[in-house]
């Protein structure tokens, strides 16, 4: 039942377009998400309601590691400034998240980006745990398909007990579209997000989605996984859940808006 998650994501989508009003003194908490495709900054209030969100397409992270530190820092600074101007408030505290298994050194780099943008970092968590703060799954697997990778986190009793992350994500979907339609990568990114054409492109990108299905299948087979829960921008594609369910044989669900679940979850842990 995604009712609560869907409501939260709906509020997030609204405040992405128009930030909610905040008082000059109420505490605000931020989540900074450095992804392969997007850098996202989300602010929530003390009631854990999203109040503002800003994001930018950026390629400063590869395989969960920051490859362009200065670029990342500049974008987080700019997004923060944008939110501060819109809210008329300074943002001070932030939580950050990294893929499970990230080394201490790479965690420190993530932290330095947030600190460099002026934040006091109050929490560093792993991405599936962040996503699960929104979804509240007790048992099953959260599958996060972002720009670069398909991440799988198996949960038992609400705790992450197994994780895996493999290359194949939205970037691969766009590359296949670019090749098939003889268009640039940027045009393919737009085509992929065009609601009017998503039905038409599904058969073209089906092999990539099946590849994601095979990755998921390999990691969940033999484990006690009764359901898959999809998050991440790539899961916005209508029909994803059916292809993955068919491929893995595991009942597959997704919230109405799977994009930005992780960034919001990070902010909820600040
Ligand atoms: P990663 O998790 O791999 O580090 P990320 O956190 O940047 O990357 P997300 O922001 O979850 O990943 O998702 C980005 C991907 O989702 C991109 O490939 C983007 O093209 C794709 N995407 C975003 N919106 C949509 C949409 N409406 N339909 C299809 N794909 C989308």
**CATH number of 211's domain:** 3.30.420.40
Best residue among 56, 128, 147 to mutate for probing ligand 1, ranked by most atoms within 8 Å of CB:
147
Q: What is the span of the domain harbouring residue 96?
A: 3-131+260-268
Q: Let me know whether 68 and 101 are in one domain.
A: yes
Q: Let me know whether 157 and 205 are in one domain.
A: yes
Q: Please state the length of the chain.
A: 270
Q: How confident is the model at residue 265 (pLDDT cuts 50, 70, 90)?
A: very high
Best residue among 37, 101, 254, 265 to mutate for probing ligand 1, ranked by most atoms within 8 Å of CB:
37
* pLDDT above 90: residue 202: yes
Query: What's the gap in Å between 179 CA and the centre of ligand 1?
Result: 19
* pLDDT above 90: residue 178: yes
Answer whether 91 contacts ligand 1 (Cβ < 6 A).
no
CB under 8 Å to 30, separation ≥6 — which residues? 41, 42, 43, 44, 80, 91, 93, 94, 95, 119, 267, 270
Q: Let me know whether 64 and 11 are in one domain.
A: yes
CA nearest to 174, candidates 159, 193, 155, 160: 193
Q: What is the mean pLDDT of residues 99-104?
A: 88
Q: Let me know whether 182 and 107 are in one domain.
A: no
Q: How confident is the model at residue 64 (pLDDT cuts 50, 70, 90)?
A: confident
Q: In this structure, how many other beta carbons lie within 10 angstroms of the beta carbon of residue 88?
A: 10
Q: Let me know whether 89 and 176 are in one domain.
A: no
- Domains held by the chain: number: 2
Q: Let me know whether 124 and 166 are in one domain.
A: no
Q: Let me know whether 7 and 125 are in one domain.
A: yes
* pLDDT above 90: residue 181: yes
Tell me the percentage of the chain whose pLDDT exceeds 70: 100
* pLDDT above 90: residue 100: no
Answer whether 150 contacts ligand 1 (Cβ < 6 A).
no
Q: Let me know whether 161 and 119 are in one domain.
A: no
Q: Let me know whether 140 and 114 are in one domain.
A: no
Answer whether 258 contacts ligand 1 (Cβ < 6 A).
no
pLDDT digits (tens, 9 = 90+) for 4-59: 999 999 999 999 999 999 999 999 999 999 998 999 999 999 999 999 999 999 99
pLDDT digits (tens, 9 = 90+) for 233-245: 999 999 999 999 9
Q: How confident is the model at residue 118 (pLDDT cuts 50, 70, 90)?
A: very high
Could you tell me if 6 and 242 are in contact, meaning their C-beta atoms sit under 8 angstroms apart? no
Tell me the percentage of the chain whose pLDDT exceeds 90: 94
Exposure string of 19-53, with b = 16+ CB inside 10 Å and e = fewer, is beebeeeeebbbbbbbbbbbbbbbbbbeeeebbbb
Q: What is the mean pLDDT of residues 194-218?
A: 96
* pLDDT above 90: residue 197: yes
* pLDDT above 90: residue 1: no
Answer whether 60 contacts ligand 1 (Cβ < 6 A).
no
Q: Let me know whether 10 and 121 are in one domain.
A: yes
Atom of ligand 1 nearest to the CA of 39: 7
Q: What is the mean pLDDT of the chain?
A: 95
pLDDT confidence of residue 62: 87
Q: Let me know whether 115 and 200 are in one domain.
A: no
pLDDT confidence of residue 40: 97
């Amino acid at each position: 039942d995604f009712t609560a998650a869907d409501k939260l994501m709906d509020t997030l989508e609204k405040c992405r377009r128009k930030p909610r009003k905040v008082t000059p003194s109420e505490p605000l908490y931020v989540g900074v998400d450095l992804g392969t495709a997007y850098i996202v900054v989300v602010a929530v209030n003390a009631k854990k309601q999203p109040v503002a969100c800003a994001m930018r397409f950026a390629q400063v992270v590869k395989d969960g590691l920051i490859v362009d530190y200065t670029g990342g820092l500049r974008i987080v600074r700019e997004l923060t400034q944008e939110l501060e101007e819109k809210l008329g408030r300074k943002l001070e505290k932030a939580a950050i998240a990294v893929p499970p298994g990230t080394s201490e050194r790479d965690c420190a780099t993530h932290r330095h980006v947030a600190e460099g943008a002026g934040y006091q970092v109050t929490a560093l968590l792993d991405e599936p745990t962040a996503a699960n703060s929104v979804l509240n799954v007790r048992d099953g697997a959260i599958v996060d398909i972002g720009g670069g990778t398909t991440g799988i986190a198996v949960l038992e009793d609400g705790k992450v007990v197994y994780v895996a992350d493999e290359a194949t994500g939205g970037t691969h979907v766009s590359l296949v579209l670019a090749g098939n339609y003889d268009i640039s990568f940027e045009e393919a990114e737009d085509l992929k997000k065009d609601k009017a054409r998503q039905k038409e492109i599904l058969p073209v990108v089906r092999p990539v989605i099946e590849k994601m299905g095979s990755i998921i299948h390999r990691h969940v087979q033999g484990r006690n996984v009764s359901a898959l829960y999809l998050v991440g921008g790539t899961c916005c594609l209508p029909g994803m859940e059916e292809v993955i369910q068919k491929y893995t044989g595991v009942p597959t669900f997704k919230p109405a808006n799977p994009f930005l679940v992780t960034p919001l979850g990070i902010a909820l842990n600040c």
